[in-house]
Every structure is written in structure tokens, then in C-alpha cells.
């Protein structure tokens, strides 16, 4: 499937900003079952400098500064992406994946070959997922058990988060601690992803945070609205000897082609779509619009 | 033989003493020193110790203790007895530290580069990836210098085998070099005879290397790069040292606010404008240096710095990210690392450490907790160090749980019994546990190790821990040579003047701002103290000051107190609770003088004055420090005193005023105009002018009956210290026209408003942005307008009122206009030169709709 994605982020300031420095993680990375055909970023006002680099996790990071006085900052990206992830779907149900038990997985992680070593860093604590209380571990242990398949356990964990947690936007912010989300059982996609990651790590398995987009389909018989799609986040677990498998607890499904990967890291902190430091005295208002058009 | 009366009971139990054998024999390399100390005798030594304390106090050497009830700026302690090592022993340590510095340099390069140590299984990944100091943002940065680790400090201590061991690595922003240098210059002055005859290795060539390292770090290989020292500010525990190094090396001391990133370069905001910075010697921990990429809540750094580093447009020393090798988790793997990189054995032994990320080691640790010291790999601060034998069973269990939860974050170390060194304490020698910090600097072909270092000893006999935060003391550290070498003969090294040449234009804007406010606060303190003293003198003539005064003149005076100090509602009107200060003037006056939490009170103003001075510590002379201390002491004693009689307060204010005047005199002769004294003068004159205007408004704009009017005029003249001048100039009964002439309109009299504005006019013309040939800047216009208004006024008009009106309207309007113009002047100077109008804000991060 080929998608044209337009992602617009706009900050309106109520007092002029004299200059700002920003970092954007918006260019979709190449990943399993995904290719990038075209990408363009437009920033207004015109940045005084703009550079791109690849970060520690392999994501594309754009760094820019604006030195002209402005009251509106607009960042628009257009990406053309081919998604062909659905074809891997079957492989998750083979013995190579489904057959890996928790005991087997933990044993396999003792290995230090490049792939395992690379994955193991995602067991460690991260900026937003620090030491968590027992509630997380207990919640995880309901699904993860010694001889049980890691894949099955993760699938169940995803389902349980989907059922137990309420999607309430505005209840949490990026600084809401995991423990509180766990207690209140409310949040948005990034909270659910991070809860799942915290659970998996508490068991001793590697899990990472995936930032991206999801194509939404209008209810039957209705026209799709432009800009109705959204930024999205889910998680990926490393199943030793098999590889990484994505899960989306917000939608209770294994991502297929409608999920488009932008980047991944240990948690949200590593891959915020846009962040920055602005010099000015006012407050800002944020508008985000994502539009995903299916080409074929 | 040695008279040992004052050595009795030196040991309560012998461990390992640096100077004495268990039989109380003096070890051979200590003999010379011991004989000299003994010759001085108990009294001689005590008096030298006093000299040291005095000299350190004199030079304002302090160490800030966080949350210290005694307040900031605790005096630095240096014991008169130095610590010594013979060069033969030192040579081994030196070689060991050079090797260790190089190894850590290679580790640092590797973990931010290829990470072969992890890939090849030399270091477990958790030791690096699990360390909060591993900054993934720094991965892959290419540097222009050969050595990544520019500065390295090691804490060394003598282990049970009698050898010196490394117990801690300090790689981020190691402190102590400034104190070491200050210790050396103090002991060499107080013990000159010993110092001279003992062939002590000098520190000068090390500081030369240090300076050269900073110069060479400049990415463009500039001959005279712009180097700045970045400090978190005057509340930091080692701020003295930041200021000391800045003035010793001759580089500007800056805070995050002084710097800005533009066009991919780092700039310092100076009075003239932006000036490119090539090298930053940072004393700010690395996670705080860039709120864009690192800690977002930091106001100690500068947004975008890391990207400038990435572009090789600035060098940061030590590089951002070097905190990761300040990592006791690495210690167990150092022998393997030495093999891996250099195929060598470690020359200097290190403290035995067990990293809990390994099963066998973890089990050992869990079974032996009470004999070990437990640390986190990435937090070597005091709170997270646990001494097993001090923990109760509940704490042990809690620690065990924590270790089991995240074993890779913990390291256990052997509890070493430090060796002891003799200290002069309680009038005699006593052994103290000691630890020494040694410093290394990257040079063209390796590392240069300071011949000496900072020795710290425990506060008392039985304390195992050595920490400045806990009130330990320090020692000078002498490396003795058998024969004096060239190096021992060299005198102190002084940085070349050309490196430090910086004029008013290059003054960091924060320093400029502090000087400006220092001027304003010293002016405010002086004017207010004088006015309050005058009011108190009037009160002293009254029988009862705890009821509303009958006389109009006193009521006017009290209201003037409120207006001058800005402590509303005060005497001006009832407060929100319905009580009126005028009903008990004594109580209100006490509060206006002593309540330090009340904005505008004298105590509060003195506090602001002290803060502004402390933040420009690097510009001070030692005389200034002494007088400043005196001012503080006067005030502290007064605060502790129970005598609150009016006469007592007057006496204190007298002392305060005299010392303030002495202090102001010293400022004028100690700080150079290029260092920013101009800003101080502008602040001072603006403040004094503003307060003169307020006083005139309070006392002169309303007409009263003749006797009251006469008294008020006299009060005004007294508070301005102008009564004698008036009598000398006019030789007459006090009349308002003459007073207006003298206090407001006189062009020649230094306390008159016109004189002060004229002076401000001349001073601001020297500021970098003032041109004045074709047009004036805003602040120049405001002052010019105010000055002209005064020149065009005359006292007869100003004294006039409309018929039946008690308001001197013209005077009132003029004063109001002047007050506004001066306010605008101050604002304009601030926005032109201090540039803190733009606040740093984080963009609100994206919320997720799905």
C-alpha cells in the first residue's frame, strides 16, 4: 500500500518569539515492511539553519533554528510511504515466534550476539519509564508466565490494556508518571504504549516505543475528512530468536499496513515529533493535522 | 630528641598513619617537616593556623554548603600541617594516573563511537546503557581534539596494603583545582621557611598545561580563542573556585543566560553585543548544558549548545557526556579494559568493587552487605551511598530489594580503612582519615599530572567519611624532591595578559547587570539607612513611640519612611486587617528595619545588596571582602541582639553607614572602569537620584504651617547629610527656595539632583551603544530630558502654589516627570544591555489525539 502523508504542526504564540531552536522527528524511517519514497519538510518562517542527522536509534532527526521574529511557527511534512507489513503477519503465528516461551526467551537473552545485545538495552529503564511500583509487575505477571508463549502473553497484555484502560484524551500529559496512569487506568495511545513497555520490561524482556501514524477509515458510507488521521504510538517487543513484533494496545491489534512508522526509541522522550526552546514571553496554542491519503 | 608531650595519645588505635609508625617513629620522608613543625612548637603552630584562617577569610575563600542553616559561603578550612609524599612514591602514582586517564579517554571515545567494548564483551552493556550519564544525543559526535577526556581527577587513598589506590574517578566537571592553588599560595606564605627548604614541587607548570589545553581545544586552532568559564551561579557549592579560576586564568565567568546559540555558533552576550565563544570550560553538569537536547527544565545551560559542538564550532571541556565514565560500575572491568586497549596491567591499584549486574558478584554482595559500601553506578552523591555497617535490618532488606530489582545499577565496594595523616586539632596533633584528589590534564602527547593535589581529611578522629559538605578540612599536598629541580625553582605562573585582554565591550551582560544592581542596592541601603537614622533620632526625643504621634511633622516623616522604602501600606494607610501602623510607630519602624521577608525593609535591601555582590565575587579585592564581611557581621550581631532600644538601633545604623561608605570607597579604587565599574556608577547615581526625588515628594510638595515646614526642611537636609553645606552656603534661616536650589538644582554640589543627572549623562555616553554625535539612544534621551527640565526650573516657581491650595503643583509635576524619566532610563538600559527580556520556554509537546 502506498500512502501520502501530510503532517502539519502549527504553534501560535500570543506574543512574538524572537528566535527558537527546534528538533523534529518526522521523517519516517525505513523499517520492516516499510519504505520511504519521498519526503519533504516545509518550515515557516524560513529557518536560518537546518540539518538532518541519524540518532542513536537510527531515527532521522531534523534540527532547525528560526531567527526571524514570528508569532506563528508552522512545520509541514509530506511523506510518501510504501507499507507492506501485513505479509509478515503470518510469520508471527509460526512456531519460530509463537513457540518462544518466557523461560526460553529469558535464557536466549543471555546470549551476547549483536542482535540480542542491541535489543537488550530496551530492557533497561528509560527517561519516562523509570523504576515503577509493584502494580506494573503484578499486572504483567497475569499474562507472562514461565512456559507460556511470549507472543501469546503479549497479545493478551495488549487485549487487557485495551479492555481495562479508558481512552480519555486530556487526562494525562507527557509528564504524567506511569504509576499514575496505571492507577487511574486512563490515558491516550502513548500512555498505553508506555504501560505495555513498562510491563514487558518488568518481566525482563526488551520493549520499545514506536511513534508514527495511523490511517483512520470513515464509517461506512461516509466521506473521509481531510486531516482526520492522527499521530499515533504503539509498542514493539523483542521475541528472542525471532525478532521484533509490533502491537497496538489502543486499537487492540497487531499493526498491519495502516500503521506507518516514523521512529522508535525507549519511550516517548526519544522520539517526540517536534520539540523546541523558544525565546519569547507568551503562551502558545498548538494545532496538529495529519492527513493520510491512500494511493493504491 | 623530639619533645613529644603534645603527641601523647596520638593513636587510640593504630591503622596506618602517614607520618608515624605504630611505635611513634617518624617516617623518614616526614622527618624534615616534623622537625620544623616541632621547632615551631604548639603555640607557634596554633598561631600559624590562625594566620591561615585569617588569610583564607581575607581572600574570601568559601565553600557553599547546601541547605546549611548557617547560610551560604562557609569559610574554607585549611590545616596548617601539610600532607607530603616523596617523589619516588609519587612517580608510581603519577604513571598510574596517566595510564588511567588515557584508559578512561579511550573508554569515553569508544562508548560514544564504535562501542567495541560492549560488542566485544569487555564491558557489559548495562554499565554504559544503564548509566544515566550516558547521553545518547552525544553518540557519533566527531571531535577535533586528539584526547576526548581533557581533564581527569582521581580520588586516591592508601589501601590496607600500604599502596595508594584510586577510589573514585571524576570526569565530568572535576572541582578542586582552584582550592588546591589557593591552599598552596596560602601555605607558602604562612610556612615560607619550611616550604623553601623542603624542595616542594611547584604547581605552576601544571597550570600552564591547563591553560594550554584550553587554548588548544579551540576547534579552529585560533591563537587567541575566546574561552569562557560556565558556572551554575553563586549558589553552587564551589562557586568560589569558579570565580577564582576565572580571575586566575583571566577568562570571563559566565552563566547560561550570558550565552546564546545563533547561526550554528555559540556567542557570549557582552555589553557591546554578541561575541563568538570558542571554548567553554564547564562547571555545569552535562545534562544541564542544553535544554533543547538534554534536560528541558534546565536554566543553567544554553539551548542548542550540543548542536554547535556537533558542528565543531565550539569545544566544551570536559565534553558533554563524559559523566558516563564517572562510573564505579567500570572499576571491576578496568583491568580487562587496560588489557584490551593497551595490553598493560593497571599501574595504580583501585578499590575492590563488585558490580551487581553479574550473578556471582551480586550473590556475594547480598550476603556481605554489612561489610560493604553500596553505590549507584551513576549517582555518586552522598545520599545514594550506603555504608552497610550503619544500616539497620530494615534498611538492609530495603536495599536488597532495590538491588534485586535493578541489579545493574548497583556496585558494592570494599570498606577501606583510610590511612590517617596528622592534623593540628584541639591544639595538638591528631590523626585524621584522609583522601587526596589528584588532577590530570590532556597535553599534546599524553597527560600531565599535577604534582600535588587537594587533600581532604575527616572532621574528627572517628569519622570514616571525608567530605567538604560534612565539614571536613583540607591540607596542602607537597611532593618532596631530594634535590631542587628546575621545576621547583620556577616562580608562579601568570597567564599572558594578551589572552585575557577584555574591555568594557566584552563584559558579559550578566556581570554588567550585577554591577548595575550592586550600585543600585548599595545606594538604596545607604540612603535608606540615613533616612531611618534621622527618623529614629526624632523618635528618641519623644516620650512614647507606641502611640499615634500628635505632631504633624512626625506623621509626615513616618509617611515618608513608607514612601521611601516602598513598604506599603505602612504609615500610608490602614492595612487589610484594619490596623494602622501610625498607631504604633515603634513597631512599624522595627519591622521596616528588621523584617527581612518584607520587601523594601532595610534588612531585605541589605540582603539584595549582599547577593548582588556575591555574584560578582571575581572582581573583588581582599580589602573589599573584609569590609563586606564587617557589614554582614554588624548586621548579624544586631539581628541576634535582644536590645531593640532606639538608641541601640541608631548606633548600629551609624556603624552600618560608616562601613558602607568605606566599602563604596574601596569599590571605586578596586574595580576598573573596563571591568564594569561604569555600570556600578550608573546604578548608584540612578538610585540616589530616584530616592532624592521620592524624599522631596514626601517632604516638600505639601505646604504646612511655618514651624512644621522649617522642621521638615531640616530633616531633609539632615537625611541628605547636607545641613552643614546649607549653612555654609546660605548662612541663613532654612528656606525652601534655598533648599530646592541646593538639593535639586545645584550643578556643582555632588548631592544635588542636577549634579547627579549630569554625571549619569556623562557615564552613559561611554556605554558601547551610545553614540551621541547625530542622535541619542533612548536612555540618553530620557536623562537629557530630565537634566534639561531641572536646568530650566527655578526654585521660586517651584515653591509657588495656587491660591488657597496647599499643593506646590509645579514642584509636584516636575518631580513626577523626573521620576518617570528615570524609571524609563533604567528600563532602557536593561533592555539594551542586559537582554533578559526574552524568557526561555519549552514548546508545549504534542498531544496525541488517538
Which tens digit of pLDDT belongs to each residue from A36-48?
999 999 999 999 9
Please tell me which of the candidates B139, B292, B840 has its beta carbon nearest to residue A23.
Answer: B292
**A231 contact residues in B (CB cutoff 8 A):** 846, 848-850
Quote the pLDDT of residue B466: 57
Quote the pLDDT of residue B465: 57
CA distance B55 to B72: 19
Domain residues of chain B, as ranges? 504-834
pLDDT > 80? residue B69: no
Please tell me which of the candidates A65, A114, A272 has its beta carbon nearest to residue B845.
Answer: A272
Q: Do A21 and B140 touch (CB under 8 A)?
A: no
Buried b (16+ CB within 10 A) or exposed e, A51-73: eeeebbbebbbbbbbbbeebeeb
pLDDT > 70? residue A86: yes
Which tens digit of pLDDT belongs to each residue from B349-395?
999 999 999 999 999 999 999 889 999 998 755 667 888 888 888 99
* pLDDT cut 90: percent of chain B above it: 57
Domains and CATH numbers, chain A: 2-82+272-294 (2.60.40.2250), 86-270 (3.10.620.30)
CA distance B595 to B598: 6
- Residue B65 pLDDT grade (very low, low, confident, very high; cuts 50, 70, 90): low
Query: Are the C-beta atoms of residues B219 and B313 closer than 8 Å to each other?
Result: yes
Q: Do A22 and B129 touch (CB under 8 A)?
A: no
Query: Are the C-beta atoms of residues B286 and B279 closer than 8 Å to each other?
Result: no
Please tell me which of the candidates A18, A21, A112 has its beta carbon nearest to residue B838.
Answer: A18
**Position of cell 564547564?**
B282
Which of B578, B415, B481 is CA-nearest to residue B87? B481
DSSP H helices, B642-676, are: 646-670
Q: Do B125 and A120 touch (CB under 8 A)?
A: yes
How far A92 CA lies from chain B's nearest CA (Å)?
26
Please tell me which of the candidates B139, B292, B846 has its beta carbon nearest to residue A21.
Answer: B292
pLDDT > 70? residue A61: yes
pLDDT > 70? residue B844: no
CA closest to A8 among chain B residues = B846
How far A201 CA lies from chain B's nearest CA (Å)?
11
User: What average pLDDT is seen over chain B?
Assistant: 88
- Residue A283 pLDDT grade (very low, low, confident, very high; cuts 50, 70, 90): confident
* pLDDT cut 90: percent of chain A above it: 77
DSSP H helices, B420-502, are: 486-489, 497-500
pLDDT > 80? residue A259: yes
Range in A260-269, B78-87, B388-397, B491-500 with the lowest mean pLDDT? B491-500
Quote the pLDDT of residue B847: 42
Q: Which string of DSSP letters, residue by residue, matches B598-616?
A: STTSHHHHHHHHHHHHHTT
Strands of B315-317's sheet, edge to edge? B253-254, B227-230, B279-282, B315-317
Q: Do B262 and A273 touch (CB under 8 A)?
A: no
CA distance A267 to A276: 18
Tell me what the mean pLDDT of segment B598-612 comes to: 90
pLDDT > 70? residue B66: no
Query: Are the C-beta atoms of residues B511 and B270 closer than 8 Å to each other?
Result: no
* DSSP secondary structure code for residue B173 in this structure: S
Please tell me which of the candidates A112, A169, A279 has its beta carbon nearest to residue B849.
Answer: A169
Q: Do B119 and A114 touch (CB under 8 A)?
A: yes
Query: Are the C-beta atoms of residues A91 and A97 closer than 8 Å to each other?
Result: yes
Chain B residues interacting with chain A (CB cutoff of 8 angstroms): 118-119, 121, 125-126, 129-130, 136-137, 139-140, 261-264, 291-293, 296, 303-304, 307, 310, 405-406, 408, 837-850
Which tens digit of pLDDT belongs to each residue from B292-320?
999 888 889 999 999 999 999 999 999 99
Interface mutation vs chain B, best among A11, A272, A277, most B CBs within 10 Å: A277
Query: Are the C-beta atoms of residues B605 and B616 closer than 8 Å to each other?
Result: no
- Residue B771 pLDDT grade (very low, low, confident, very high; cuts 50, 70, 90): low
Buried b (16+ CB within 10 A) or exposed e, B765-784: eebbeeeeeeebbebbebbb
How far A257 CA lies from chain B's nearest CA (Å)?
17
Quote the pLDDT of residue B500: 43
Please tell me which of the candidates B136, B840, B848 has its beta carbon nearest to residue A279.
Answer: B840
How far A272 CA lies from chain B's nearest CA (Å)?
8
- Residue A251 pLDDT grade (very low, low, confident, very high; cuts 50, 70, 90): very high
Which tens digit of pLDDT belongs to each residue from B451-499?
999 998 887 776 655 555 555 789 999 999 988 766 555 444 555 443 3
Interface mutation vs chain B, best among A10, A20, A21, most B CBs within 10 Å: A21
pLDDT > 60? residue B155: yes
CA angle B630, B632, B634 (to 5 degrees): 70
Q: Do B848 and A189 touch (CB under 8 A)?
A: yes
**B292 contact residues in A (CB cutoff 8 A):** 21-23, 275-277
- Residue B67 pLDDT grade (very low, low, confident, very high; cuts 50, 70, 90): very low
- Residue B74 pLDDT grade (very low, low, confident, very high; cuts 50, 70, 90): low
- Residue B501 pLDDT grade (very low, low, confident, very high; cuts 50, 70, 90): very low
First to last CA, chain B: 88
Quote the pLDDT of residue B612: 82
Quote the pLDDT of residue B467: 54
CA distance B386 to B408: 16
Name the helix (H) or strand (E) containing B678.
helix B677-700
Which of B340, B333, B372, B354 is CA-nearest to residue B408? B354
Quote the pLDDT of residue B848: 40
For residues B770 and A165, the model is more confident at A165
Range in A132-136, B112-116, B768-772 with the lowest mean pLDDT? B768-772
Which tens digit of pLDDT belongs to each residue from B317-333?
999 999 999 999 999 99
Which tens digit of pLDDT belongs to each residue from A168-205?
888 888 778 888 999 999 999 999 999 999 999 999 99
Quote the pLDDT of residue B772: 63
Tell me what the mean pLDDT of segment B71-93 comes to: 85
Q: Do A277 and B291 touch (CB under 8 A)?
A: yes
Quote the pLDDT of residue B68: 47
Q: Do B844 and A284 touch (CB under 8 A)?
A: yes
Q: Do B125 and A121 touch (CB under 8 A)?
A: yes
How far A94 CA lies from chain B's nearest CA (Å)?
31
pLDDT > 70? residue B49: yes
Please tell me which of the candidates A23, A63, A274 has its beta carbon nearest to residue B846.
Answer: A274
Quote the pLDDT of residue B626: 81
DSSP H helices, chain A, are: 95-98, 102-108, 114-120, 134-141, 150-164, 178-184, 189-203
How far A19 CA lies from chain B's nearest CA (Å)?
9
Amino acid at each position: 500500500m502506498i500512502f501520502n502523508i501530510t503532517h502539519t504542526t502549527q504553534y501560535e504564540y500570543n506574543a512574538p518569539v524572537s528566535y527558537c531552536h527546534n528538533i523534529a522527528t518526522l521523517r519516517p524511517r525505513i523499517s520492516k515492511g516499510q519504505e520511504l519514497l519521498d519526503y519533504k519538510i516545509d518550515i515557516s518562517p524560513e529557518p536560518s539553519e537546518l540539518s538532518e542527522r541519524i540518532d542513536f536509534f537510527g531515527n532521522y532527526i531534523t534540527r532547525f533554528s528560526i531567527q526571524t521574529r514570528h508569532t506563528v511557527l508552522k512545520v509541514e511534512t509530506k511523506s510518501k510511504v510504501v507499507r507492506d507489513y501485513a505479509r509478515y503477519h503470518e510469520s508471527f503465528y509460526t512456531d519460530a515466534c509463537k513457540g518462544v516461551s518466557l523461560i526460553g526467551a529469558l535464557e536466549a537473552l543471555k546470549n551476547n550476539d549483536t542482535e540480542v545485545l542491541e535489543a537488550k538495552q530496551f530492557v533497561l529503564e528509560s527517561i519516562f519509564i523509570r523504576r515503577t511500583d509493584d502494580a506494573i509487575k503484578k499486572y504483567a505477571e497475569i499474562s507472562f508466565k514461565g512456559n507460556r508463549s511470549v507472543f501469546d502473553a503479549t497479545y493478551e497484555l495488549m487485549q487487557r490494556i485495551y479492555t481495562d484502560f479508558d481512552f480519555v484524551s486530556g487526562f494525562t500529559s507527557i509528564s504524567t508518571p506511569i504509576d499514575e496512569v496505571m492507577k487511574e487506568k486512563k490515558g491516550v495511545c502513548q500512555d498505553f504504549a508506555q504501560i505495555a513497555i513498562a510491563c514487558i520490561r518488568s518481566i525482563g524482556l526488551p520493549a520499545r516505543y514506536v511513534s508514527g501514524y495511523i490511517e483512520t477509515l470513515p464509517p461506512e458510507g461516509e466521506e473521509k475528512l481531510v486531516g482526520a488521521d492522527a499521530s499515533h504510538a504503539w509498542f514493539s517487543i523483542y521475541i528472542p530468536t525471532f525478532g521484533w513484533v509490533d502491537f497496538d494496545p489502543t486499537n487492540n491489534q497487531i499493526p498491519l499496513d495502516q500503521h506507518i512508522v516514523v521512529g522508535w526509541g525507549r519511550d516517548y522522550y526519544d522520539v517526540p515529533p517536534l520539540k523546541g526552546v523558544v525565546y519569547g514571553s507568551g503562551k502558545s496554542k498548538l494545532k496538529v493535522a495529519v492527513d493520510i491519503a491512500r494511493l493504491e | 630528641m623530639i619533645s613529644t608531650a603534645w603527641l601523647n595519645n596520638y593513636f587510640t588505635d593504630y591503622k596506618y598513619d602517614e607520618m608515624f609508625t605504630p611505635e611513634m617513629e617518624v617516617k623518614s620522608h616526614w622527618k624534615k617537616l616534623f622537625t620544623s613543625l616541632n621547632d615551631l612548637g604548639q603555640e607557634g603552630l596554633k598561631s600559624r593556623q590562625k594566620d591561615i584562617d585569617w588569610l583564607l577569610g581575607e581572600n574570601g575563600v568559601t565553600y557553599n554548603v547546601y541547605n546549611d542553616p548557617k547560610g551560604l559561603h562557609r569559610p574554607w578550612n585549611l590545616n596548617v600541617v601539610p600532607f607530603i609524599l616523596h617523589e619516588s612514591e609519587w612517580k608510581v602514582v603519577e604513571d598510574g594516573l596517566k595510564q588511567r586517564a588515557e584508559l578512561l579517554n579511550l573508554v569515553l571515545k569508544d562508548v560514544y563511537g564504535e562501542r567495541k567494548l560492549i560488542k566485544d564483551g569487555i564491558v557489559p552493556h548495562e554499565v554504559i546503557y544503564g548509566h544515566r550519564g550516558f547521553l545518547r544525543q552525544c553518540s557519533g559526535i566527531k571531535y577535533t581534539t586528539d584526547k576526548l577526556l581533557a581533564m581527569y581527577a582521581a580520588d586516591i587513598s592508601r589501601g590496607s596494603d600500604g599502596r595508594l589506590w584510586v577510589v573514585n574517578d571524576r570526569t565530568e566537571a572535576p572541582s578542586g583545582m582552584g582550592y588546591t592553588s589557593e591552599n598552596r599560595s596560602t601555605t607558602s606564605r604562612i610556612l615560607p621557611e619550611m616550604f623553601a627548604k623542603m624542595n616542594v614541587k611547584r604547581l605552576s607548570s601544571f597550570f600552564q598545561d591547563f591553560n594550554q589545553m584550553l587554548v588548544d581545544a579551540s576547534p579552529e586552532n585560533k591563537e587567541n580563542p575566546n574561552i569562557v568559564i560556565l558556572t551554575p551561579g553563586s549558589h553552587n557549592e564551589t562557586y568560589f573556585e569558579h570565580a577564582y579560576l576565572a580571575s586566575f586564568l583571566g577568562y570571563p565567568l559566565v552563566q547560561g543566560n550570558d550565552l546564546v546559540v545563533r547561526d550554528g555558533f555559540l556567542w557570549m552576550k557582552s555589553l557591546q553585543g554578541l561575541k563568538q565563544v570558542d571554548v567553554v570550560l564547564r562547571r555545569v553538569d552535562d545534562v544541564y548544558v542544553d535544554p533543547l537536547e538534554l534536560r528541558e527544565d534546565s536554566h543553567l545551560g544554553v539551548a542548542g549548545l550540543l548542536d554547535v559542538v556537533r558542528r565543531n564550532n565550539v569545544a566544551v571541556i570536559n565534553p558533554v557526556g563524559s559523566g558516563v565514565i564517572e562510573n564505579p560500575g567500570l572499576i571491576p572491568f578496568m583491568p580487562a579494559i587496560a588489557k584490551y586497549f593497551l595490553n598493560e596491567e593497571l599501574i595504580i591499584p583501585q578499590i575492590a568493587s563488585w558490580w551487581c549486574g553479574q550473578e556471582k558478584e551480586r550473590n556475594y554482595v547480598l550476603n556481605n552487605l554489612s561489610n560493604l559500601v553500596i553505590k549507584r553506578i551513576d549517582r555518586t552523591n552522598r545520599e545514594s551511598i550506603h555504608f552497610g555497617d550503619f544500616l539497620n535490618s530494615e534498611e538492609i532488606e530495603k536495599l536488597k530489594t532495590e538491588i534485586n530489582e535493578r541489579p545493574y545499577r548497583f556496585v558494592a565496594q570494599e570498606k577501606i580503612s583510610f590511612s590517617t595523616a596528622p592534623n593540628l586539632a584541639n591544639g595538638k596533633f591528631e590523626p585524621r582519615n584522609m583522601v587526596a584528589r589528584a588532577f590530570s590534564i590532556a597535553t599534546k602527547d599524553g597527560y600531565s599530572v599535577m604534582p600535588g593535589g587537594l587533600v581532604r581529611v575527616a572532621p574528627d578522629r572517628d569519622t570514616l567519611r571525608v567530605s567538604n559538605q560534612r565539614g571536613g578540612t583540607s591540607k596542602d599536598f607537597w611532593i618532596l624532591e631530594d634535590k631542587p629541580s628546575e621545576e621547583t625553582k620556577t616562580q608562579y605562573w601568570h597567564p599572558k595578559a594578551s589572552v585575557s585582554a577584555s574591555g568594557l565591550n566584552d563584559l558579559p551582560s550578566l556581570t554588567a547587570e550585577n554591577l548595575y544592581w550592586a550600585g543600585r542596592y548599595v545606594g538604596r541601603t545607604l540612603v535608606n539607612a540615613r533616612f531611618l537614622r534621622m527618623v529614629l533620632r526624632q523618635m528618641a526625643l519623644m516620650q512614647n513611640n507606641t502611640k499615634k504621634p500628635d505632631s504633624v511633622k512626625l506623621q509626615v516623616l513616618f509617611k515618608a519612611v513608607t514612601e521611601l522604602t516602598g513598604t506599603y501600606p505602612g504609615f500610608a494607610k490602614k492595612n487589610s486587617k484594619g490596623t494602622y501602623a501610625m498607631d504604633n510607630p515603634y513597631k512599624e519602624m522595627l519591622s521596616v528595619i528588621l523584617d527581612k521577608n518584607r520587601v523594601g525593609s532595610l534588612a531585605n535591601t541589605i540582603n539584595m545588596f549582599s547577593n548582588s555582590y556575591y555574584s560578582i565575587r571575581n572582581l573583588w579585592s581582599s580589602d573589599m571582602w573584609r569590609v563586606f564581611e564587617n557589614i554582614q557581621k554588624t548586621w548579624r550581631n544586631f539581628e541576634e541582639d535582644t536590645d531593640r532600644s532606639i538608641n541601640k538601633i541608631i548606633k548600629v545604623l551609624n556603624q552600618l553607614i560608616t562601613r558602607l561608605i568605606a566599602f563604596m570607597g574601596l569599590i571605586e579604587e578596586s574595580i576598573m572602569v573596563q571591568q564594569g565599574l561604569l555600570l556600578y556608577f550608573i546604578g548608584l547615581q540612578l538610585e540616589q537620584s530616584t530616592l532624592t526625588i521620592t524624599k522631596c515628594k514626601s517632604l516638600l510638595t505639601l505646604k504646612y504651617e511655618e514651624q512644621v515646614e522649617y522642621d521638615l526642611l531640616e530633616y531633609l537636609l539632615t537625611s541628605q547629610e547636607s545641613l552643614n553645606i546649607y549653612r555654609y552656603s546660605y548662612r541663613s534661616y532654612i528656606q525652601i527656595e534655598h533648599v530646592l536650589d541646593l538639593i535639586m538644582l545645584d550643578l556643582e554640589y555632588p548631592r544635588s539632583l542636577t549634579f547627579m543627572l549630569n554625571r549619569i549623562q556623562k557615564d552613559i555616553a561611554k556605554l558601547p551603544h551610545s553614540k551621541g554625535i547625530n542622535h541619542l539612544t533612548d536612555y540618553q534621551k530620557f536623562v537629557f530630558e530630565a537634566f534639561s527640565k531641572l536646568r530650566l526650573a527655578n526654585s521660586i516657581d517651584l515653591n509657588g502654589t495656587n491660591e488657597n491650595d496647599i499643593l506646590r503643583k509645579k514642584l509636584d509635576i516636575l518631580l513626577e516627570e523626573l521620576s518617570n524619566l528615570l524609571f524609563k532610563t533604567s528600563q532602557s538600559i536593561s533592555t539594551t544591555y542586559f537582554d533578559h527580556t526574552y524568557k526561555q520556554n519549552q514548546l508545549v509537546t504534542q498531544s496525541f489525539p488517538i
